[in-house]
Amino acid sequence: MFRSRVAGGMFGTSGVRGPVGEEVTASLALAVGRALGVETDRVVVGRDPRESGRLLTDALTAGLRESGTHVLDTGLAATPTVARAVGWQDADAGVSVTASHNPAPDNGIKLWQESGQAFDEEDQDRIARRIEDERFDLVPWDELGDRTEIDATAHHAAALRKAVTLDEPQTIALDLGNGAGGVTIDALSGLDCAVETLNAQPDGRFPGRPSEPTPENCESLRELVETTDASVGLAHDGDADRLRGVTGAGEFLSGDVLLALFARAAVVESDVENPNVAVPVDTSLAVADALAPLGASVTYTRVGDGFVAARATRESVVFGGEPSGAWIWPDQTLCPDGPLAACRLVALASERPLAERAAGIDTYPIRRESIETTEKRRVMERVETRVETEFADVRPLDGVRVDLDDGWFLIRASGTQPLVRVTAEARDPETCESVFETATTLVTDALAEKVD
């Protein structure tokens, strides 16, 4: 079972993710625990509200303990709480049992380094090979590791309160999406903000709204902000590693605009000469344009918070972010910290209304679409072959990005779902549609081609 999973790539851009009982099972979690236990003495473990997380956490911790590893169990906790607790607890690694923004039938496993950065490809490959070869190091009965419950959430909330300063307390509308982001309530309440919540009861079925905080899924939040005196609306996904925002006027901020706002603030606050902001290759031109007047620039990475975090370790990088809602302040942590982003956004709103800030960011037409396919590898191979022969300026950093005189497009396979993602942008709507059609046609033609 594990041999086929490893051969096909056990870990995606955000760890192991998939349907429970099919791709993600207790036996897989047990094997991951055993493999990680070979190289660790202390590991922090936590989970999001999905009911399957209890079973998977038990299996994972059993594998760790059989290897002699001591488990520090946060219980239900935001993924950034788990990641940051690795350093706070002087542990060797961390594990989040979560499928993040994926739907309720899914779950997953994400691994964290001592620094709070996600395991990189080399780290993940090492664990996967150990599982494939069943190279474990189980200990006798009298050397088993123990399992201790810890309260990392209180520590996280305290760290958030220290990280920001508000000009004055704000009234906040917060949509937790039935996820694990309750630490944001604790932090903002501790900053004397009035917090009105939506979907605040943790429930892994996500009955209030789908887990991913998209504009469509956050319509209730937008309406709440628009009809109250809230200065900002905040929305998390299931494990609170993501944060999306709504202005006091009820406008849902696009991921690119929010990235530009966070990036500009980080550059202004830094004393770094020629600062960079790390962004994935599917980021809008609007971010680079917003940074240019400040003497800052973007540095492109592959899509995935782990790749952004790896680039953020460079001294010149003052911030890293993804339009999907993952935000990294390297002076605080190398994990995407949705609750920290929530507090930072409230701080920006306390200084100047978010609607005014957003109005200062030039935006361009951009289209993003995901095309379902169970053959994403074959599709990408065919797309890459055509792109290399038909276009001159091709960047194969992550999938293929093609820069044109009047725009650009990116085609890449999702690292966690059976999807091929297409992004296209241009400085006027007509060109954007034309570029998007060119890109999507490349994918649909590849899908239609018969297997040799």
Q: Which residue has the tokens 């999406």?
A: 177
* Cα 109 from Cα 47, distance rounded (Å): 9
3-class SS of residue 228:
coil
* DSSP helix, strand, coil percent of the chain (3-state; round to 5): 40, 25, 35
Q: How many C-beta atoms lie closer than 10 Å to residue 203's C-beta?
A: 17
List the one residue out of 390, 381, 392, 266 whose CA is nearest residue 332. Answer: 266
Length of the chain: 452
* Cα 160 from Cα 158, distance rounded (Å): 5
List the one residue out of 26, 39, 239 whose CA is nearest residue 123. Answer: 39
Give the C-alpha distances (Å, rounded to integers) separating 87 from 83, 94, 318, 391, 417. Answer: 8, 9, 21, 46, 30
* Cα dihedral: 285, 295, 354, 182 (round 10): 90
Helix or strand (DSSP H, E) at 220:
helix 219-226
Tokens of 292: 């240019």
Calculate Rg over the CA atoms of the chain.
22
How are strands ordered across the β-sheet holding 194-198? 194-198, 171-175, 232-236, 243-247
* Cα 279 from Cα 290, distance rounded (Å): 13
Is residue 297 part of the annotated active site? The answer reads: no
Catalytic residue among 14, 100, 231, 350: 100
Q: Which residue has the tokens 């236990």?
A: 37
Query: Do 278 and 306 meet the contact criterion of CB atoms below 8 Å apart?
Result: no
State the catalytic residues.
100
